[in-house]
Amino acid sequence: MASIKDVAAEAGLSVATVSRALNGHPSVSEDARRRVSAAVEALGYRPNAVARSLRTDETRTLGLVISDVMNPYFTELARSVEEEARALGYSVIIGNADERPDLQDHHVTTLLDRRIDGLLVSPTDGGSPGMLGAARAGTPMVFVDRWIPGVDVPVVRSDGRAAVRDLVAHLHGLGHRRLAIIAGPAATTTGRERVDAFREALAAYGLELPDAYIGQGDFQAGSGRRVTEGFLDLPVPPEAVFAADNLMALGALDAIRARGLRVPDDIALAAFDDIPWFVHTDPPVTAIAQPTRDLGRAAVRALVDRIAGRPGASVTLPARLVVRRSCGEPGTGRPPSPSPVRRSTP
């Protein structure tokens, strides 16, 4: 591949002048500029970003470590991050932690070794060594969606508290009293917050959230299935299940369907995170929608601020409830089917 030296030779100029011409430096004659362009064209020259990075100590690359690419919420986040980054002249490298701290650390380390300019992360847990190390090492960093308490890094996330209250009001209005939650990992902020918000909202109606109605999931479909099976096996199963993310809702749907039960007749279902498919599931799923695009944008802006030495603002955006049919037909004041009794399993 042609190097800047080849271009210099072809143009009959020094490497320094070619470099200046290439970078739009003002003090380059029109003539030199033209000769450089011609040489570049003739040789099909493309600057070597690796060499440039070594010299300038910046890669114009952002790292994004998310917990699960297969989760449409994170996919959309990643897309929005890439768009905003591109607009600002950055590339982004995505690392998929798959909800595993060890994999997360692997990606953080790899990214740091590649000298990315800044790191965007949605931590899988309360702080793996690699993560904490990165934060301490002073790499510009911002948390998106999830964060680690006590680590001094801007956080860009959405607050679902009000939406969860709306959801509980909705469920209560439909006559549901025994409400359960499929929680995310307690090691994550979102895992804890959604349970807390749910519990608080229930308390406002004098309702309890018994331990048996808190199922421990891991934000992935399989756990949603297992937890839901557990709920259905209870002597007194819940009337409504709130899945703390869309994948666990998918798992819940699997479990419910496998038992030959129907939503919302036999059991109501709601999910955190809204996705296009929820409009078309049987039945359409009531969900809490995050302003995902805005989150991605804000996160990149905060990170770029930090990279530039500016403070980098934390941002919290509200989530909102999207009512569909999976909790019962609105307006009836009661769950659709008169007797939400557990059916015998086929």
Binding site for DNA (CB under 7 A): 1, 3-5, 13-17, 19-20, 22-23, 26-29, 31-32, 45, 47-48, 51-52, 54-57
- Is the CB of 166 or the CB of 218 nearer to a second copy? 218
Rounded to the nearest whole angstrom, what is the least distance from the CB of residue 33 to DNA in the complex?
Answer: 7
Collapsing DSSP to helix, strand or coil, 209 comes out as coil
4 binds, among DNA, a second copy, none (CB under 5 to 8 A by kind): DNA
Q: Report how far residue 209's alpha carbon sits from residue 203's, in angstroms, rounded to the nearest whole number.
A: 8
Rounded to the nearest whole angstrom, what is the least distance from the CB of residue 108 to DNA in the complex?
Answer: 17
- Is the CB of 55 or the CB of 280 nearer to DNA? 55
Rounded to the nearest whole angstrom, what is the least distance from the CB of residue 95 to DNA in the complex?
Answer: 21
Q: Is 291 in the site for a second copy (CB under 8 A)?
A: no
Give me the residue label for tokens 């959604």: 194
Q: Residue 312 class from Cβ within 10 Å (0-12 exposed, 13-18 middle, 19+ buried)? A: buried
Rounded to the nearest whole angstrom, what is the least distance from the CB of residue 26 to DNA in the complex?
Answer: 6
Q: Report how far residue 164's alpha carbon sits from residue 181's, in angstroms, rounded to the nearest whole number.
A: 11
Residue 120 has which token pair? 């965007």
Going 186 to 189 to 194 to 197, the CA torsion angle's sign is positive
Rounded to the nearest whole angstrom, what is the least distance from the CB of residue 77 to a second copy in the complex?
Answer: 11
Collapsing DSSP to helix, strand or coil, 69 comes out as coil
Going 178 to 179 to 185 to 188, the CA torsion angle's sign is negative
Beta bridge partners of 141: 119
Going 331 to 269 to 163 to 296, the CA torsion angle's sign is negative
Q: Is 236 in the site for a second copy (CB under 8 A)?
A: no
Residue 213 has which token pair? 């109605």
Cα angle, residue 154 at apex, residues 152 and 160 outer, rounded to 5°: 115
- Is the CB of 20 or the CB of 194 nearer to DNA? 20
Residue 142 has which token pair? 């911002």
Q: Is 341 in the site for a second copy (CB under 8 A)?
A: no
Q: Is 280 in the site for a second copy (CB under 8 A)?
A: yes
337 binds, among DNA, a second copy, none (CB under 5 to 8 A by kind): none
- Is the CB of 5 or the CB of 12 nearer to a second copy? 5
- Is the CB of 260 or the CB of 333 nearer to a second copy? 260
Cβ 101 vs Cβ 125: under 8 Å: yes
What mask of x and - would describe binding to a second copy in positions 142 to 171, judged by CB under 8 A? ------------------------------
Residue from 206, 223, 13 nearest 214 by CA:
223
Rounded to the nearest whole angstrom, what is the least distance from the CB of residue 15 to DNA in the complex?
Answer: 5
Q: Is 250 in the site for a second copy (CB under 8 A)?
A: yes
Please provide residue 229's backbone torsions phi and psi, each rounded to the nearest 5 degrees.
-60, -45
Rounded to the nearest whole angstrom, what is the least distance from the CB of residue 20 to DNA in the complex?
Answer: 5
Residue environment code for 316-333, b if the CB has 16+ CB neighbours within 10 A, otherwise e: eeebbbbebbbbbeeeee
**Interface positions, 201-230, toward a second copy (CB under 8 A):** 221
CB hemisphere CA count around 227 (13 angstroms): 32
Contact region with a second copy (CB under 8 A), list: 28-36, 111-119, 194-202, 301-309: 111-119
**Interface positions, 59-98, toward a second copy (CB under 8 A):** 59, 69-70, 72, 75-76, 78-79, 82, 86, 91, 93-94, 96
Cα angle, residue 328 at apex, residues 292 and 190 outer, rounded to 5°: 30
Q: Which residues bind a second copy (CB under 8 A)?
A: 1, 44, 46-51, 53-54, 59, 69-70, 72, 75-76, 78-79, 82, 86, 91, 93-94, 96, 106, 109-110, 112-115, 133, 137, 221, 250, 253-254, 257-258, 260-262, 276-277, 279-284, 344-346
